Structure 1
Amino acid sequence: MVRGTRGNGAEGSARRRSATQSVTLRDVAERAGVSSQTVSRVLRVPDEVSAPTRERVERAIRECGYVPNLAARNLASNRSKIVATVIPSLSASIFSETLTGLSSVLSPAGYQLLLGYTDYDDELEEALIRSLLGRRPDGFVMTGAIHRDSVVTMLRESGVPVVETWDWTDSPVDLLVGFSNQDAMYAMVSFLHDHGYQRPCFVGSLLEGDHRSLRRLDGYRRAVAEFWPDSPERVVDAAPHPLTLESGATLLDVARSAHPDADVLVFATDVYAGGAVLAARSRGVRVPEDVAITGFGDFELSGMIQPGLTTVALPNATIGREAAELLLRRMRGEPPEETAVDLGFEIRRRESA
């Protein structure tokens, strides 16, 4: 004798199926008492379905535990609805505001972010982009505007819309939203010169793949050569230290030991600079009386520590939103109003300098 399954009708049918396979569109339709085409319309264009029918279908979806097969749908439409996003680091969530800005525009349009990071390694970036292209994203958002020639060739040959961010170049791969790291650091050093500082010391990563830090160093050197042409070079390489507040404390000691005459430490990132400010008091170092400290980025912590951090303020979230808007237009086949958007920067003065 075969024991029957409790339940009947659509409910029993859905339960029997769920024991061996995924719930289907037809299961949802049977449960809601509508056609499969109606369920499909609710999923694709819900505004075209009457409210009572839409609510009935949505309730059936929840009760059945139905999950749409996006892979099949995307294969049919030749769209993945994925935007690949490449950042250099996950440390300290430096790029979180930009990612939030991206998501705030792309998610309502039905796109999901696929995130990868390079750890400031050009070889890893190339391997990552090749892997991400194999997943057929509809668009790419890149951090930085310096890449290997092979990477540029891959991206251009793929035909996938690309937005580069957080930097500036005269020859972008496709679209560009950012600012000049060189000009921003030059402006910071110019600000320090105008406020009477004479012996700046740059503290930042000299890692070959950390192109934005190296461009900030270029801006620093250009300003020093202009304002203090006879000054010895004061530069501390932060690359051996992880991108953490704790490293900022260590770098404060390293910089003051290597260049005891420096009257201002010019950090290439707020992460290190914030750590240095927080550690100064425990070391008996008065900021800015004994040594001033500046940062780059204007992260949330920068305005909360004491003394507040003087820094280069960047439009982090706006970079993400603008990049997403440009990318959406390109993915929809619409010509963007402009292909390069310079969002600029601002010197934000607080008590540390």
Structure 2
Amino acid sequence: MTGRGQAKGRSGGSPLGVRMDDVAQLAQVSRATVSRVLMGHVTVSPNTQEKVHRALRELGYVPNMIASGLAARSSSDLVGLLLRDPRNPAYGLLHSEVQNQASRAGLQLITVIPSSKQGAEDELAALRRLLGLRVGGLMVSTGVVKAHDLEPFLDSVPVVSVGRMEDHPGIYGVSYDEDTNAAILADRVASEGHRSVAVIVPSFAISTAENRRGLAMAAHLRGRGVSVYQIDTAIFGSVVDGCKDIVRLALEGRVTAAMFPSDIRAISFLPLAQEEGLRIPEDLSITGCDGVLPGSDQIGIATVKIPVHEVAARGTAVMAELLRNPGTATIKHERFAGVFVPGRSLGPPRANTLGMT
């Protein structure tokens, strides 16, 4: 069996120069077996996998993913994921679930995360970096890049939009049903008896998902005969934009509830409400949307829990199918609705004397 020193001698002393043949020789298996282990194929026996992984660790082997992508551009299992800021629990969980599903499907995932402080241009630059790696497929999980931004690449790689509403006829979409989720929440608020409600609506340029949620919430409330104070926000990266307007409306007695298009926005509102002496829900009921933040049940935000696992699993399965049978899939836009999660933050309106003198 080849020793470590011999292998590193062949590579000029750098693990980046170690070849797959070196790993195969040290593990006493074929080069194809090493490749299957690297790809995560479950058909390789556990004992053989352990031998290969031991050799990989000893030699410090690093696969040349760019070369692999160039060598098999039309059938590569290398998939790029463009992901929004994972500090948002919804995106963080989606990332984890997509990674798990990709491993099970034998796909290799490369994730690029644009700056959380920049907008569409930064995300487009990240998109170009991914495509520059010659990925075989592209999964887009961000609320900023628009469908028309993806159009130039649709003839080159299969594209699946995951976790965001998609209507483009050339892009397969697997998303949360934001319209239904918004309607579920709006119905709950209206059913509690609220007749005047503030709704935060981020601009389309900030987040396509939150924009759609907010607009759908407002529209459904109006359909129930509820007066809506629509608060449009346009500051990228800010989750508290518009919160002072809600405080003012509540203190003036003009609204009895506020609806936020994400749990992070709703939770970020709580300190400001407390600072101004607003009691939740006695003076103001609030709702969020996501339901994936660990410990959110202890906070008590009324919300809709989005089906992250189902969307990640289905989106990854679609990508695997598009890669292995190119040109055969019919483009669809699949949508998965969430479920309402009750919380202490939502209750019936009470006599509001905050705005009276």
TM-score, scaled relative to structure 1: 0.79
Q: Does 1:240 align with 2:226?
A: no
SS where residue 184 of structure 1 aligns? Answer: helix
Check conservation: 1:298, 1:313, Cα contact below 8 A.
yes
**In the superposition, relative to structure 1, how do residues 228 and 161 fare at CA in structure 2: closer, same or farther (>3 Å)?**
same
> Residue in 2 aligned with 1:344?
337
Q: Does 1:223 align with 2:215?
A: no
SS where residue 182 of structure 1 aligns? Answer: helix
Matches of 2:147 and 2:5 in 1, distance apart? 59
Cα offset, 1:215, TM superposition: 1.6
> Residue in 2 aligned with 1:3?
none
Check conservation: 2:196, 2:255, Cα contact below 8 A.
yes
Check conservation: 1:84, 1:115, Cα contact below 8 A.
yes
The 5-angstrom pairing of residues 32-181 of structure 1 reads 34=28, 38-45=29-36, 58-78=53-73, 79-108=75-104, 109-117=106-114, 121-143=119-141, 148=146, 150-158=148-156, 160-181=157-178
Matches of 2:186 and 2:43 in 1, distance apart? 58
Check conservation: 2:143, 2:207, Cα contact below 8 A.
no
Check conservation: 2:176, 2:307, Cα contact below 8 A.
no
Cα offset, 1:107, TM superposition: 2.2
**In the superposition, relative to structure 1, how do residues 29 and 293 fare at CA in structure 2: closer, same or farther (>3 Å)?**
closer
**In the superposition, relative to structure 1, how do residues 61 and 182 fare at CA in structure 2: closer, same or farther (>3 Å)?**
closer
User: Of 265, 281, 297, which residue of structure 2 is paired with 1:288?
Assistant: 281
Check conservation: 1:83, 1:139, Cα contact below 8 A.
yes
SS where residue 203 of structure 1 aligns? Answer: strand
Q: Does 1:324 align with 2:319?
A: no
Cα offset, 1:87, TM superposition: 3.1
Matches of 1:195 and 1:137 in 2, distance apart? 50
| Greater radius of gyration (CA) | 1
**In the superposition, relative to structure 1, how do residues 305 and 242 fare at CA in structure 2: closer, same or farther (>3 Å)?**
farther
Cα offset, 1:28, TM superposition: 4.4
Check conservation: 2:112, 2:130, Cα contact below 8 A.
no
Matches of 1:240 and 1:56 in 2, distance apart? 53
Q: What residue ranges of structure 1 are gaps of 5+ in the alignment?
A: 1-7
Of stretches 252-261 and 101-110 in structure 1, the one that deviates more from structure 2 is 252-261
Matches of 1:213 and 1:77 in 2, distance apart? 38
Matches of 2:295 and 2:4 in 1, distance apart? 57
Check conservation: 2:83, 2:114, Cα contact below 8 A.
yes
Cα offset, 1:149, TM superposition: 6.4
The one-letter amino acid of 1:256's match is V
Of stretches 13-22 and 285-294 in structure 1, the one that deviates more from structure 2 is 13-22
Of stretches 44-53 and 277-286 in structure 1, the one that deviates more from structure 2 is 44-53
Cα offset, 1:126, TM superposition: 4.0
Of stretches 215-224 and 137-146 in structure 1, the one that deviates more from structure 2 is 137-146
CA-based RMSD of the aligned residues comes to: 3.4
TM-score, scaled relative to structure 2: 0.78
Cα offset, 1:127, TM superposition: 4.2
The one-character-per-residue Cα deviations of 1:70-113 (angstroms, maximum 9, x if unpaired) are: 44444333355332222343443430111111111112414123
> Residue in 1 aligned with 2:353?
none
Q: What residue ranges of structure 2 are gaps of 5+ in the alignment?
A: 347-357
Percent identity over paired residues: 21
**In the superposition, relative to structure 1, how do residues 12 and 102 fare at CA in structure 2: closer, same or farther (>3 Å)?**
closer
Matches of 1:290 and 1:121 in 2, distance apart? 36
Matches of 1:125 and 1:272 in 2, distance apart? 22
Of stretches 340-349 and 188-197 in structure 1, the one that deviates more from structure 2 is 340-349
Matches of 2:147 and 2:180 in 1, distance apart? 25
